[in-house]
Amino acid sequence: MDRTCQASFECSVTSEHHPDETTSSTVSHATTTVGQSTCQGELRLCLVGALATDDEALGAAQKFKLSVVTSVDGLDYVYDATYWTYFVLADFDSAEYEELHKHTSRLIGKPALLDMAVGGESNKGTAVVGVAAVVAQPQLVLHTRAVYCHVMKSCVMVFTGFRKRNEVARLLKQIHFMGGSVKNEMSEKVTHLIAVTATGEKYQYAVTFGVPVMTHHWVNTAWAHRDDQGASAKKPEIMEQYKLGLFHNLRVVPVGFNADDTEVMKRLLGDSRGTCTTLSDPAVTHVVLDDGNVKEKPPDYPSKAYVVKGEWFWASIQMNACANESMYMFEDTNEKPAASGVVSPRGGSTTGSIGGVGGSIASSGGERGGGGLFSPATPRSRSRRRKRLRETMQQLASDDSPCTPGSQLTLPASKRRSSVADLISYMSGDGSFLEDSQHTPVCPLPSIKKTPLSPPNIDLRLLTYRQRVFHELVKTECNYVSILDTINKVIKEPLEDDSQPGGPMLDSQELRYIFGNLPPIHDVHTKMRNDFLYLSHNWKPDASIGQIVLNYSDDLEKAYPPFVNYFENVKEMLAKICHERPRFHAFLKIAQSKPECGRQSFQELLIRPVQRLPSMSLLLCDILKHTDKSHSDHSALSKALDKIKSVTMFINDNKRKTEAKLKLF
């Protein structure tokens, strides 16, 4: 049975009462609770077995200026109440350890003793002339359990995903012997998670809070180095070697992807310790569907497997950790949608709708009934209702563009305006809930001087052929500028963000090389689009299309050559970076899946500037063909077309010269 004693000594003592807490103090007296009964005595070290004749161990023990004794098995000192004895052994996998451990836990391995003996001597010999050197004394750490070495000192671990009790028991014992500790649940004190697979709640907690996730081989390797003085499992190179792969032990089935993407996914899975398998594999953990090509779940997928969208895979690669599956679950398009409606402040659901002739407002609870859109349920509900009504008025009053698909507001403009009038009349009537608040001004109709950012919604059959082709020119110009906007907002700006998870994917030089020549093109076409739109919304028979092009011809000639000249080099650079940096490749795949990109790859979007001027030239040629020679725009169109062709030829000549120079290097 363990006993508690009080010892007097001059070295620094650390008393460890908890597996994950250490309290250090430099004192002349220290008290450590080890058992239930107490007695007092001097602290003593006992070298057991082979260490009795080990000069290195004896020298280390004497540095603590304590009483040091030797023994064949240590049993003769276990119940000596005169001393509080710590037993030092050469090996914990020995008969001496097994026998002593039946009587006491005050057991220390030789590596731990040597480590504590030299712990404060690293500052020796660093004294400055005229200044007394401060040398820390050896620090004796008093543990409440047997500690063989300090390879895992201060490591606090949690296990997850293990099925075999014997394996966990063995790892737990080794961790304790190496000075570490184990907890049952994740908390802020946990320093490492030891996992079998890259999934589960504990894994997601570790990823979220930056806790390193390790394989059990990390513990095995640390134990293999238990006799190496100064060894530490927390060294970066060791941690990196035994870090859990982001798809560790996951068996993934890609479905609906093209051959190139499937090959890339297979390679990345292998590099990340995962396996690419088939649906016939009963151990499948994840079925990854390309939701752009696949609309239904495979009928024969394993019931226990996660069925996720392709974005889950690429997001995992980008963040270098397995993404949370719940955020990327695949849903069949033929599944019944959840019941729609407005959630009332009291938790009920209403089916309020706004629309219909005269702008009628329907609610399941009536205009003022409980639970309806206008029910005064909470003190803040009035302001929320007023905000919704103001937004409704603005939507009803908007004449800029036709309603988006799925919208209920599909009435002609005249009826929409009458709906606004009816709604305002309702709001200002007797008993309105707006009467007790400050008057809310009605938003005015949009100014007719403001040009919408889309072509007018008109019946092309009513237009002349010249107008129809111009309408197509405006439409393609709007689409082109939209693509340039997408490149800038969806791809360029996120890549420039230094705070992105995992750090920057491209350095500043690479960013300039890829995107540096796009801003001038974006700028000139944005201005040209705005002029085209203004003309299309304010069309006149004598409108001059050619003059708009001529106004920007010089800017086009300056903007395009730098981009076109190095386009092929940029393509090669992108292909190389995608192959070498999986995070960048994954980032582009995620961007491609966004609606703004229309499922087009970055390379497909990036080639649009190369194609724009030839496309524009064809449309201008068609407009010129259907413009009468007597028309005032005929001359301007001819000059504009010649200028565009001239710019194209200049770009091609410039490109050939640039390629010739590059070949010299």
- Three-state SS at 443: coil
Using CA atoms of 537, 538, 539, 545 in order, give the dihedral in degrees to the nearest 10: -90
| Sign of the dihedral defined by the CA atoms of residues 288, 292, 297, 301, in that order | negative
**What does the pLDDT read at residue 279?**
93
- Three-state SS at 182: strand
CA distances from 566 to 302, 517, 580 (A): 49, 9, 21
Distance of CA 268 to the CA centre of its chain: 18
- Nearest residue to 438 via CA among 367, 382, 396, 397: 382
Residue 32 phi/psi, 5-degree rounding, is -125, 125
**What does the pLDDT read at residue 381?**
45
Per-residue pLDDT band for 42 (boundaries 50, 70, 90) equals confident
All structural domains of the chain, each given as residue ranges with its CATH number in brackets, are 6-124+137-142 (3.40.50.10190), 156-241 (3.40.50.10190), 251-327 (3.40.50.10190), 354-401+408-450 (no CATH), 460-664 (1.20.900.10)
Per-residue pLDDT band for 474 (boundaries 50, 70, 90) equals very high
Residue 134 per-residue DSSP state:
-
pLDDT digits (tens, 9 = 90+) for 550-606: 999 999 999 999 999 889 899 999 999 999 999 999 999 999 988 888 889 999 999
pLDDT digits (tens, 9 = 90+) for 296-312: 999 888 889 999 999 99
- Nearest residue to 39 via CA among 10, 3, 88, 8: 3
Sheet holding 21-25, edge to edge: 21-25, 12-18, 139-142
Tokens standing for residue 162: 């293990």
Burial class (CB in 10 A: 0-12, 13-18, 19+), 439: exposed
Residue 147 has pLDDT above 90, yes or no: yes
**What does the pLDDT read at residue 378?**
41
Other beta carbons less than 10 A from residue 589's beta carbon: 22
For the residues of 296-346, what is the DSSP string, one character each? S--TT--TTSEEEEHHHHHHHHHHTSPPPGGGSB---TTSPPPPP-EEPTT
Range among 184-188, 376-380, 457-461 rated most confident: 184-188
Per-residue pLDDT band for 451 (boundaries 50, 70, 90) equals low
Question: Which distant-in-sequence residues (6+ apart) come within 8 Å of 41 by Cβ?
Answer: 5, 6, 7, 80, 81, 82, 83, 84
474-480 contact pairs (CB < 8 A, 24+):
474/529, 474/532, 474/533, 474/535, 474/536, 476/615, 476/616, 476/619, 477/525, 477/528, 477/529, 477/532, 477/616, 478/453, 478/454, 478/529, 478/533, 480/525, 480/529, 480/608, 480/612
Q: Do β-strands 353-354 and 361-362 pair in parallel, antiparallel, or remain unpaired?
A: antiparallel
Tokens standing for residue 394: 């603005």
Over range 233-247, report the average pLDDT.
Answer: 94
Over range 227-233, report the average pLDDT.
Answer: 91
Report how far apart the first and last C-alpha atoms of the chain are (Å, whole number). 82
Tokens standing for residue 636: 């301007």
